[in-house]
A = this chain, B = another copy of it.
Amino acid sequence: MRRVATELGTGAASLYAHVSNKGELHALMLDRIAADIVVPEPDPTRWAGQTKAIVRSMRDALVARPGIAAVAVAQIPIGAQALRVSDGLIAVLRAGGLSKKVIGFAVDLLPLYATAIAQEVAERKEEHASADDYAAVAQQLGEFFANLPADRFPNIAFLGPALSAGDREERFEFGLDILVAGLAAHRD
């Protein structure tokens, strides 16, 4: 609140004439950010790809503002923009032929995934700020796993490099694949 106020050229106390607390400001910020999320015109033949595109867009909108993902977890989004996105997501899932029940759950599950991934990115970025040493940390972690006692952790040893394979993007896309494949499997 103090930093926001400073940015606006006032004191923190002045903000309380416009929002009742930090939570309300967060909710307003989140809905503004939701305006960036792109929802496509539903196409029944491409529902899986369209669903993925929406979740990607959600993640991008959150990742672009470090810190906001942590705020998103605490909120059920009911602003105008959030409703637009929810409606668009439901439209795509309907086009995919999913049942009402599955859609009702998926409309929570998919944003949860986007938020969790975005938060992970933001939180880890805090630790080792520069993107160049992300690879260095990843390699260091790989070495740590490789040097673990194989008799105590035989399955970690079995997995080997596969445990730390792939960058952030690949891992995100894998999760997206899993989720959409799982939704497809739940079609009646």
Chain A's interface size range is: 35 or more
Identical copies of this chain, number: 2
A155 to B148, CA, bound (A): 51
| Chain A residues packing against B (C-beta within 8 Å) | 70, 73-74, 76, 78, 83-84, 86-88, 90-91, 94, 100-109, 112-113, 115-117, 119-120, 123-124, 126-127, 141, 144, 148, 153-156, 158-160, 162-166, 171, 174-175, 177-186
- Enumerate chain B residues within 8 angstroms of A153, measured Cβ to Cβ: 83-84, 86-87
Q: At the interface, is chain A mostly helix, strand, loop or mixed?
A: helix
Contacts of A108 in B (CB 8 A): 171
CB-based nearest B residue for A78: B144
Q: Can you report 25 A-B residue pairs in the complex whose CB atoms are below 8 A from each other?
A: A70-B73, A74-B126, A84-B153, A86-B155, A87-B155, A88-B155, A90-B158, A90-B159, A94-B158, A100-B162, A104-B164, A105-B174, A109-B178, A112-B113, A112-B116, A112-B175, A116-B116, A177-B186, A178-B182, A181-B181, A181-B182, A181-B185, A181-B186, A182-B183, A185-B185
